[in-house]
């Protein structure tokens, strides 16, 4: 009974992984990049100035307030985001008044040059946010369709994780087992190690992803069982809203935000401001909120200071009250997004995401490796299904990273004033991916693997060179200006290119070894056959001699 159950789980694990493997690979890879979406956007907007070191928060606030007084006079609420580890430029944002017939106005967000106080005009680009959103929106599809596809694949991924644990009798032993150069066994060990090493992350990221669109997936149940008012109350429990600060429609002059900030500094006894939110600007009820940390999972009322913008007095705050369901949802949301993560934790998120991506890739390769010997013996060659899986593996596992590289090339090479430029950055990426998916159809699998690995190495290693030729925000200048975020980005391209180059080299060496080993095996088998024939002939002669001797003895008797 146990063996039958485990076999059924193994069958389910295999086929579930195959059916949605390529979509999951896309989701995991783009989702992993999403942990650095702000850094990616920074690289894709080279018009932004280099980091200015040793600039006080007071000067930054004064620069932002002057800019807002010129460009957002009629706005009641606006935000100021100071440079931080991830987004190293001064940024301001506000929402325009709503147009007739619309609930909300258009959101404006601008980078402010610290030295000149002017708006930084950057090229139109999807940036890192486009890559981040693709992992759950799938880009070209409508949100309703993409949410259901992502939810279906995520549910199967969760089941694959659970069944993967069930089918391993010795999960601890498997973690320390790696049989290199053993073909099928080697790929099985790689898949097992990648699965176990980040198993808690795989479970958390998949389960929490399903909670993102809880009301979408449970819409039929909620619509049938509760009324509209009950539904509204249910949403408030999970998504609590803070009380809005309303304008009194009495004009008043606000104190400088940098002056009000002294109240927050005295409260915190440190100078670690992250962002500022202004409510009812230039009104008698104007208030300013200073924030030093902002994440739901580690909410601390002391991280925020609310100040009356007219009198400069601190306003006592009412701590946020979360329901149990709201705390659970916000906790999983923050875990999935890594909102609490500092630089080291964010890199851990990124690498565990790549481990999940590699786990899916190794599972897809394992499926073809296991069936390859049998398929190659067929008189008409491999079946259509096998060839399709192998081609999709090549075009996705190697083709998708190359396509993402073309997204960065498009950012640098498309004309800056091109119409719908950001849309065409994405179009270039998907057109490239389509070509790389089709390419393996016309090439033998071994050559297609090697050629696409070589192309991936060239694509990533050449990106820093293209960056030098097209902008002044390249590796050399970044190092000189000590802009470590930009410098790390170009160096990461070089590391990725070297990894693909090493993979291409090892793959080519492996194919050469196979070709050399086959003739040796054939030659060795012929030698063994000859020796067996000689031994058989010798045995036959000895048997004939014994038989003649026995007959002679019988005759004498």
Cα 147 from chain centre: 17
Task: Judge whether 194 lies within some domain.
Answer: no
Q: The dihedral of CA 518, 521, 527, 529: what is its sign?
A: negative
Confidence (pLDDT) at 556: 45
Q: Which two tokens stand for residue 296?
A: 């739901």
The answer to whether 165 and 451 have CB atoms below 8 angstroms apart is no
How far lies 33's CA from each of 27, 37, 122, 286, in Å?
10, 7, 22, 39
Please tell me what DSSP assigns to residue 302. G
Which of 188-192, 263-267, 275-279, 435-439 has the lowest average pLDDT? Answer: 188-192
Residue 276 φ/ψ region, left for φ over 0, alpha for ψ in the -120 to 50 degree band, beta for the rest: beta
Q: For 507, how many CA atoms within 13 A lie in the half-sphere containing its CB?
A: 16
Three-state secondary-structure class, residue 148: helix
Confidence (pLDDT) at 547: 44
Instruction: Express each pLDDT in 448-460 by its tens digit.
Output: 999 999 999 999 9
For residue 297, give its domain range: 57-120+241-321
Task: Judge whether 73 lies within some domain.
Answer: yes
Task: Judge whether 281 lies within some domain.
Answer: yes
Task: Judge whether 92 lies within some domain.
Answer: yes
Task: Judge whether 316 lies within some domain.
Answer: yes
Q: 181 phi and psi, to 5 degrees?
A: 60, 30
Please state, in angstroms and rounded to a whole number, the distance separating the CA atoms of residues 157 and 210: 11
Domain count, the chain: 1
| Sheet of 78-81, strand order | 107-112, 90-95, 78-81, 275-279, 287-291, 304-308
Instruction: Express each pLDDT in 46-71 by its tens digit.
Output: 999 888 878 899 999 999 999 998 88
Please state, in angstroms and rounded to a whole number, the distance separating the CA atoms of residues 367 and 82: 50
Instruction: Express each pLDDT in 353-383 by its tens digit.
Output: 999 999 999 899 988 888 888 888 888 888 8
Q: Which two tokens stand for residue 400?
A: 């998708």
Confidence of residue 280 (pLDDT cuts 50, 70, 90): confident
Confidence (pLDDT) at 111: 92
The answer to whether 467 and 412 have CB atoms below 8 angstroms apart is yes
388 pLDDT higher than 60: yes
231-240, 296-305, 428-437, range with greatest mean pLDDT: 428-437
Mean pLDDT of 95-117: 83
Task: Judge whether 222 lies within some domain.
Answer: no
The answer to whether 406 and 417 have CB atoms below 8 angstroms apart is no
In the beta sheet, which residues pair with residue 296? Answer: none
Please state, in angstroms and rounded to a whole number, the distance separating the CA atoms of residues 421 and 124: 6
Task: Judge whether 66 lies within some domain.
Answer: yes
Please state, in angstroms and rounded to a whole number, the distance separating the CA atoms of residues 446 and 455: 14
Instruction: Express each pLDDT in 337-346 by its tens digit.
Output: 887 778 888 8
Confidence (pLDDT) at 167: 79
- CA angle 254/243/251 to nearest 5° reads 25
The answer to whether 325 and 282 have CB atoms below 8 angstroms apart is no
* Length of the chain (residues): 557
Please state, in angstroms and rounded to a whole number, the distance separating the CA atoms of residues 464 and 94: 35
In angstroms and rounded to an integer, the radius of gyration of the C-alpha atoms of the chain is 32
Task: Judge whether 326 lies within some domain.
Answer: no
Q: 199 phi and psi, to 5 degrees?
A: -60, -45
Instruction: Express each pLDDT in 81-102 by its tens digit.
Output: 998 877 888 999 998 877 777 7
């Amino acid at each position: 009974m146990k063996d039958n159950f485990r076999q059924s789980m193994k069958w389910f694990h295999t086929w579930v992984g195959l059916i949605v493997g390529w979509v999951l690979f896309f989701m995991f890879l783009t989702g992993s990049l999403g942990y650095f979406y702000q850094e990616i956007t920074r690289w894709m907007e080279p018009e932004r100035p280099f980091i200015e070191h040793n600039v006080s928060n007071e000067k930054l606030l004064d620069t932002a307030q002057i800019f807002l007084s010129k460009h957002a006079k009629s706005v009641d609420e606006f935000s100021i985001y100071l440079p931080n580890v991830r987004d190293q430029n001064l940024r301001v944002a506000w929402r325009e008044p709503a147009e007739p017939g619309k609930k909300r106005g258009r959101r404006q967000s601008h980078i402010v040059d610290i030295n000149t106080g002017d708006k930084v005009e950057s090229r139109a680009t999807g940036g890192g946010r486009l890559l981040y959103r693709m992992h759950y929106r799938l880009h070209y599809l409508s949100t309703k369709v993409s949410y259901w596809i992502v939810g279906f694949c995520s549910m199967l991924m969760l089941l694959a994780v659970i069944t993967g644990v069930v089918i391993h009798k010795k999960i601890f032993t498997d973690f320390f087992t790696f049989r290199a150069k053993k073909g099928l066994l080697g790929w099985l060990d790689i898949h097992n190690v990648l699965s176990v090493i980040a198993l808690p992350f795989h479970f958390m990221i998949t389960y929490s992803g399903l909670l993102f669109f809880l009301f979408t997936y449970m819409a039929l149940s909620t619509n049938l069982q509760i009324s509209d008012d009950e539904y509204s109350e249910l949403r408030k429990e999970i998504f609590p809203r803070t009380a809005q600060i309303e304008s009194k429609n009495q004009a008043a002059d606000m104190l400088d935000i940098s002056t009000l900030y002294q109240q927050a500094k005295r409260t915190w006894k440190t100078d670690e401001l992250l962002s500022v939110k202004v409510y009812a600007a230039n009104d008698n009820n104007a208030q300013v909120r200073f924030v030093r940390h902002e994440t739901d999972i580690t909410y601390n009322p002391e991280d925020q200071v609310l100040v009356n913008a007219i009198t400069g007095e601190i306003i006592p705050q009412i701590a946020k009250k979360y329901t149990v369901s709201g705390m659970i949802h916000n906790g999983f949301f923050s875990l999935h997004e890594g909102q609490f993560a500092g630089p080291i934790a964010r890199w851990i998120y990124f690498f565990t995401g790549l481990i999940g991506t590699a786990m899916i890739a190794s599972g897809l390769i394992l499926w073809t490796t296991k069936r390859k010997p049998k398929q190659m013996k067929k008189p008409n060659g491999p079946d259509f299904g096998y060839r399709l899986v192998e081609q999709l593996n090549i075009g996705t596992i190697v083709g998708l990273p190359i396509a993402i590289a073309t997204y960065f090339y498009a950012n640098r090479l498309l004309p800056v004033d091109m119409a719908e430029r950001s849309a065409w950055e994405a179009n270039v990426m998907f057109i490239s991916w389509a070509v790389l998916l089709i390419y393996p159809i016309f090439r033998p699998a071994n050559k297609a693997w090697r050629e696409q690995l070589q192309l991936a190495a060239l694509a990533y290693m050449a990106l820093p060179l293209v960056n030098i030729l097209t902008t002044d925000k390249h590796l050399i200048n970044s190092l000189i200006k000590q802009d470590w975020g930009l410098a790390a980005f170009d160096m990461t391209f070089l590391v990725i290119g070297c990894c693909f180059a090493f993979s291409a080299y090892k793959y080519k060496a492996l194919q050469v070894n196979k070709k050399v080993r086959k003739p040796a095996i054939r030659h060795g088998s012929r030698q063994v056959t000859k020796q067996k024939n000689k031994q058989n002939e010798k045995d036959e002669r000895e048997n004939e001699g014994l038989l003649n001797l026995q007959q002679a003895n019988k005759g004498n008797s």
